Structure formats: C-alpha cells, structure tokens
Structure 1
Amino acid sequence: MPLALLALAVGAFGIGTTEFVTMGLLPDVAADLGISIPSAGHLVSAYALGVVVGAPLLAAATARMPRRKVLIWLMVLFVAGNALSALAPDEHWLLAARFLSGMPHGAFFGVGAVVATNLVAPERKARSVSLMFLGLTVANIAGVPVATLMGQHFGWRVTFLGVSAIGLAAIAALALLLPTEGAQAGRGSASGSASAGLRGELTALRSLPVWLALGTTVAGFAALFSAYSYITPMLTDSAGYAETSVTLLLALFGVGATVGNLVGGRLADHSMRGTLFGGLTSLIVVLSLFPALMSTQWSAALAVILLGVAAFITGSPLQLMVMEKAAAAPSLASSANQAAFNLANAGGAWIGGLSLAAGFGATAPAVAGAVLAVLGLGVAGVAYGVDARRAAAPRAGQGRVVASYVPGEAETVHA
C-alpha cells in the first residue's frame, strides 16, 4: 500500500482522538469552567453539529480545489479549532471552538476516502479506505486513553493542545507523503473530473442509490451508538464491573473496531455488497445476544470486542458504496456519509436513551440497536433491489430505443 495512506491515517487518528476524548474529560471541563456536567455535555453535541454542517458545506465549497490542498487546509482548520478549545476562557467560547473543530471532520474523511481509492488499483479500493479509517479506530485504543490521562493529570487544556500537535504532524505528513499526482488523478479518473465542480457534486446527491446508501449508514451505525452510548451502565450494572475498569474495556472496543475495519476492507474488495449484508447481520446477532452476554464479566468483555468487530466491518463498504453511486462527483456524497455517521451517533443515542428511560433494563439500548440494525439491513436490501432493476433495464430494452443520461454528459440513445 502507498505510504501516502499513512498521512491520511495520521489525520484520522487526530480526528478520532478529539471526537471521543471530550466524553472522558467532561467532569474536568465542568469543574474548571464552573458549569454542570450536563451543560458540559453540550460540547459533544457542538462537535457533532460541526461535523454535520461542515461535511457537505466544506466539501461543496472546495469542489474545484485540488484534493491534496483541500486535505491540508482542512487539517489547518482542525488545528485552529483545537487550539482555540485549549484557550477558551468560558463555556460559550469553548462551544464555538468545538463546533469549529468538528467542521473539517466529515470533509476530511470524505475527500480523504476519494484520494485513498485513487492511490491504489481498483481491486484494492476498499482496503485503502479501511487503512485511512485505521487511524480512527486506533485512536480508540491509544489516542483517547492517553489523551484522557493527560487531561486528568495536567488539565483538559493540555489535551487539546496535544491534539493540535497531532494535527500539525498530519499537515506535515500530508505535505510530504501525499503526491500532487494522486490528488489530480482523482479529478481525472472515474471518480470524477475537475470540471464537475459544485454543480456536479450537487447533482450526485439527486441519485436514489446514494440516498439509500446514506440511509443504510444512518440506520446501521445508529444501531451501534444505541448500545455503545450506554455501554458503561451495562458493564457496571449488568456485568458487575467497577467503573475504574471501563476505560480498559472501551480500549477493547477499539481493538474490535480495528479488526473489523481491516477485515471489512479486505472482504469488501472481493464482495462489497456481501460484506455489507454480512456485517449488518453480524451486528443484529451480537446486539440481540447482549442481554445474555452482559450476565458475566468475561462474556461482557467478549461482547464489547464483538460489537466493535461487527459494527466496523460495514464502515469501508458503506463509504465505498456511496462513492461509487456518486461516481461522477464523489467528494460531497462521500463527505455526506460522514455527516450521516454523526446523525446516527445522535439518533442512536437518543433511541437507546428512550428504551432505557422506559424501564426495560440496562441492556435495553442494545436490543433497540438490534432493531435498528434490522432496519439498516432492510434499507440495504431495498438498495440492492433498485440496483438490480436498473441493471436489468438495459437488457430489457434490447431491440428498442432506450435513452440514458449521465450527469455532466449529453443524453445518448442506444438501439
């Protein structure tokens, strides 16, 4: 695999660290700023909102720029947002800084995925995307625990300065390792052309298969976050773990996510649709077994690992599917997939919370997640049916005049 993928993984590592570390530092931030922990929790929402807003906005605004330059400037914005977070004098400034920190998140992964696939042969595209996402999953193993310990011992502001330093390392890696030809190749390859611009990017979002792929992302990852958002009370109330053990167990989730991401990327290069169906089915099974698995400590630890594996098997095929469905101009659609991921984060946590508040028990969010995974599998099945009908249409039209239209090209007629 090209060394340039390492530069993308470094950026993903920084983004993954800043996204999840805030959750572990909420008590420290609240105490320092003199606010309640629920108020400090708004910082997580501000970051997620920045992702949802920034992903399509920045991808659209930079549609005509070389992708290498786009990635570097996105990391500059990332560094600025985290540095401002460290220097924020009060809650309101910190909320604005976290929103700014989240804005480049979705666009970086979206544009980065397009660049990654253009650095490798067609039969290794999914693997290249999984290697970029490797930085995100490794962040849950090493970046988040280390950054959390830094914040607890030296202050939460030091943590955000440390994340800014990771961003600076990513900028240097992108500038040194990412070839200009790789970014330019993306504009002239099957993934799109520079002439597509903003209009071509927006046209790509009018496609039903793109929206079905995004819908699969929302439902599938909402299933994950319905359970993962409440994994701590499951581990403490159901499995009997002490709260001090939770950090180590969450690192096990990162191990599972890393394994699932790598396996999913390799399998998706052989069968993208099969890997997606298999991953969603595995997620349904794992979440359905959570009530039983959370009954003992050893099986609860196994459940955390399996959750990471099953959920992240689908990451690469979903990202690649969105890009292929929007092949004329994939950057905006690819970035929109990251916005869908964060909508899944918020929606899944909300649905899981409803099941918990209803009094169905500590493992109820996992059962709700299984239902969401079934929904995701259903949407994926509908998408498969739509693709099958579209593929059959030209064969059914043999012998008569059939019109076909490709965005950005003149309408053609085939006999």
Structure 2
Amino acid sequence: MTKSKSLIVYILTFGVFGIINTEMGVIGILPRIAEQFGISASQAGLLVSLFALAVAIAGPVLPLLFSGMNRKTAMLLVIGLFVVTNVVSVYAPNFAVLLIARIVPAFLHPVYFSVAFVAAANTVSKEQVTRVTAKVFMGVTAGMVIGTPITSFIADTVSLEAALWFFAVVNAVTFAAILLFVPSMPVREKLTYGEQLGVLKKPLVWLSIATVIAINSAMYAAYSFFAEYLDAVTHMSGKQISLMLVLFGLTGIAGNLAAGKSLHRRAIPTALVYPFAFGAVYALVFALGDFTVPMMILIAVWGVLFTLGLNISQYWITSAASEAPDFANGLFVAFANLGITVGTSIGGAFMAGMGARYVVIAGISFLALGLVLIAARAALYGPRKRQAGRRSAA
C-alpha cells in the first residue's frame, strides 16, 4: 500500500513537470519560433505572457468548478487537453494557431495543480502533508529549470518540431500513467460553491494572498533575468549559463525536500527567517556578481531558497483556507502567477533603468514587504493567538 501511494505521488509530480515544462520550456526556443513564423521577439513572448495571464485568470474560478469531479477524471481531462494542444502546436500552420494552442490548456493548468496537491495530501496523514506537497513541488522545479535546457538542446540538435513533440510526449506519458496506475478518486465530501467562496471573507486569507504575491514577486524579479545577469555582470558564456540553470534546478530539488521537513516542524519560524536568508543571498549576489566562483556557490543556495519560497507560498494560502483545499490551491496558482507578472515587470524596469545588477534590489524590496506581511500574520494569527481564542470560546 505504501509503495502504491508513493507511485501515485511520483505520477502526480511528473504531471506537474509536464505542465510546467509546457509553460516554461518554450522560453528557450522563442528565438527559433520567431524565426519560424517570421514574427518579432516580443510577439513570440506572447506565448509565455498570455499563458501566465490565462493561468492567473482561471486560478480562482476553474478549480472551484471542477471541485466536485472525480479527481482522476479531472486530471485525465486536463492532461489529455495538454497532449492534444501540444500536438496541434507541432503542426501549427501559423503563429495564431500556435498561440491559441498554448492559451487554451493554460486555463486548465490551475485545475491540475489544485487536484494534484489535494490528491497527494490524501495519500498521507495530516502530519505528513507538507512533506508530500514538497515532493509534488519537485515537478515545478524540474519543469522550470531542467525542462528549459532540455527543450533548447532538442531544438538545437534535432529541430523545433522535435522540441514541441517533447512537450506532447511528456504529457502523454503522464496521461497513460494516471489512467493505468492512479485509482478512482471520487470527492467524498463535496463543498458547495458558497462554502468554498466563503473563505474569502476571512482577513487571514487576504493577508496570505498578499504575502504570496510579495514573495513570488521577490523571487521572479531576479530569476526572470537570471541569464541576463550572468551574461552582463558575471560575464559567463552561454554554456556556463546553461550549467548554472541545471545547478539551480538540482539544488532546488534539494530545497523541496528541506522545505517539507522545515514547514512540517516549524512553519511560522521558517517563514519569518526566509526573507532574511533570501535577502542576504541577494545582497551577496549584488556585491559578488562579478566573480564566477562565488556566484556558483550563491546560485546553489539561491536554488534552495527559490523552491523553499514556492513551498511557503503554497502552505501560506492552503493553511489559511484549509476547509476548501481545492479552491485554496487554485488561489495559490492564480496569485503566484500574478506575483510572477509583477516581479518580472518591476525587475525589468530596474534593469532597464539602472542595469542588470539592480534586479536583485527589486527582489530585496519585495522581500521586505513579504517580511512585514509574514510578521503580521504571525502576530495576528499565530498558534498562541489561536489557542487563546479556543480557550476564550470554551
């Protein structure tokens, strides 16, 4: 039984990898897409920005609508749509068709994430939820950091079409695995839409949403310009930058494992320390960005803290709205993507106005805001406050 549940978690994780790989892997092949369809680089960038926008729009809505569906059925529908649209992308006759094939599945992206987190949590006891969630987050890290160089390598060594086929094949493998090895997962306690939307009446939920936006903005203000920073400031070659992306991803996976243990044991202290630790790394990146060896060490630590931030963000919202887990995970996906948009925009403004080195200053600014919000939640809704509230109610 334990082995069977572990297999389910790994399948869910691979599904997350497939979806994130579809979303982020295209970044490495945008120049080839622009050349293939005779469009500008900014037009090709719509494949990324509109995908993220669709995720942010759908996040609070579609997981709510799918919350009563058998979770296996929901996952098969989402992954099946990704397979079909990825195949359409391979044979797209023009950029408009390619763009539509990207945007349509993006709306169901939050549904898979929401269902996968809840399904994974249901395989373990309540005390182990943060650890199993961290394992599912490994798919996010692998999709963001490892999927991108793999896709670029396939495009460079074989063809653009082969790289697009890579997206389809990964999702097809996930579909087959879910179909064959994941049991039926009916929703036993279906909440009404009103009950789920009711969590939005809680100030704690809105405080947590603001924190997620701040933390993800802090992360992506610098990470979105990772390659530009290493090129302009550290003066690394293209191959070196690719290796740094892989290093970042590998340490990020280690960060997922550490996050599960840390959040399980000391969630509030972990969240409070996080902005200080990440801020220190950003400060060192700013000061030592010209030196290759120190930057390699800092990138390794950066990868750990990056995925820790993702785990904290997911925990922060789902623990605030634990009575509606599907909806809570949809909120996480939506507002994390909003944070990506905000952070990337502000980081880009800092880079355009002051230079690549200063994107980390944008990150530090958002971390300061995140610290204030985390401290506010700890003060207003910490364990002692809840215990006092229970005693007074009794």
Q: TM-score, normalised by structure 2?
A: 0.93
TM superposition shift of 1:128: 0.4
Query: Is the 8 Å Cα contact of residues 213 and 335 (structure 2) preserved in structure 1?
Result: yes
Correspondence 1:68 to 2:72: yes
Show the counterpart of 2:18. 14
Equivalent of 2:158, from 154, 177, 194? Answer: 154
Correspondence 1:355 to 2:359: no
CA 1:362–1:120 in structure 2 vs 1: closer, same or farther (change >3 Å)?
A: same
Correspondence 1:253 to 2:248: yes
Query: Is the 8 Å Cα contact of residues 317 and 331 (structure 2) preserved in structure 1?
Result: no
Give unpaired runs (5+ residues) of structure 2: none
Correspondence 1:3 to 2:23: no
Equivalent of 2:195, from 181, 195, 200? Answer: 200
Q: Secondary structure at the match of 2:265?
A: coil
Show the counterpart of 1:288. 283
User: 1:272-351 maps to which residues of 2 (within 5 A)?
Assistant: 272-351=267-346
**Paired amino acid for 1:8:** L
Q: Percent identity?
A: 28
Give unpaired runs (5+ residues) of structure 1: 399-415
Residues 189-221 of structure 1, C-alpha deviations (whole Å, 9 max, x = no match) = xxxx21x13222222233222222222111111
Q: Secondary structure at the match of 1:235?
A: helix
TM superposition shift of 1:391: 4.5
Query: Is the 8 Å Cα contact of residues 85 and 97 (structure 1) preserved in structure 2?
Result: yes
Query: Is the 8 Å Cα contact of residues 66 and 111 (structure 2) preserved in structure 1?
Result: no
2: CA distance between counterparts of 1:87 and 1:14?
A: 20
Show the counterpart of 2:372. 378
TM superposition shift of 1:60: 1.7
Query: Is the 8 Å Cα contact of residues 317 and 328 (structure 2) preserved in structure 1?
Result: yes
Equivalent of 2:40, from 30, 36, 39? Answer: 36
Correspondence 1:217 to 2:217: no
Show the counterpart of 2:391. 395
TM superposition shift of 1:142: 3.7
Residues 153-212 of structure 1, C-alpha deviations (whole Å, 9 max, x = no match) = 3332322222111111111222233233xx34xx44xxxx21x13222222233222222
Show the counterpart of 2:93. 89
Correspondence 1:163 to 2:167: yes
Q: Secondary structure at the match of 1:313?
A: helix
Residues 264-288 of structure 1, C-alpha deviations (whole Å, 9 max, x = no match) = 0121111222222233322111112
RMSD: 1.9
Show the counterpart of 2:361. 367
Show the counterpart of 2:84. 80
Query: Is the 8 Å Cα contact of residues 209 and 383 (structure 1) preserved in structure 2?
Result: yes
Q: Secondary structure at the match of 1:205?
A: helix
CA 1:123–1:238 in structure 2 vs 1: closer, same or farther (change >3 Å)?
A: same
Query: Is the 8 Å Cα contact of residues 281 and 302 (structure 2) preserved in structure 1?
Result: yes
Q: Secondary structure at the match of 2:67?
A: coil
TM superposition shift of 1:6: 0.9
**Paired amino acid for 1:268:** L
4+ runs of 1 displaced by more than 6 Å? none
Q: Secondary structure at the match of 1:63?
A: coil
* Number of aligned residues: 388
TM superposition shift of 1:54: 2.6
Query: Is the 8 Å Cα contact of residues 284 and 371 (structure 1) preserved in structure 2?
Result: no
2: CA distance between counterparts of 1:216 and 1:231?
A: 23
1: CA distance between counterparts of 2:49 and 2:206?
A: 24
TM superposition shift of 1:390: 5.1
2: CA distance between counterparts of 1:156 and 1:275?
A: 43
Equivalent of 2:129, from 114, 125, 130? Answer: 125
2: CA distance between counterparts of 1:274 and 1:171?
A: 39
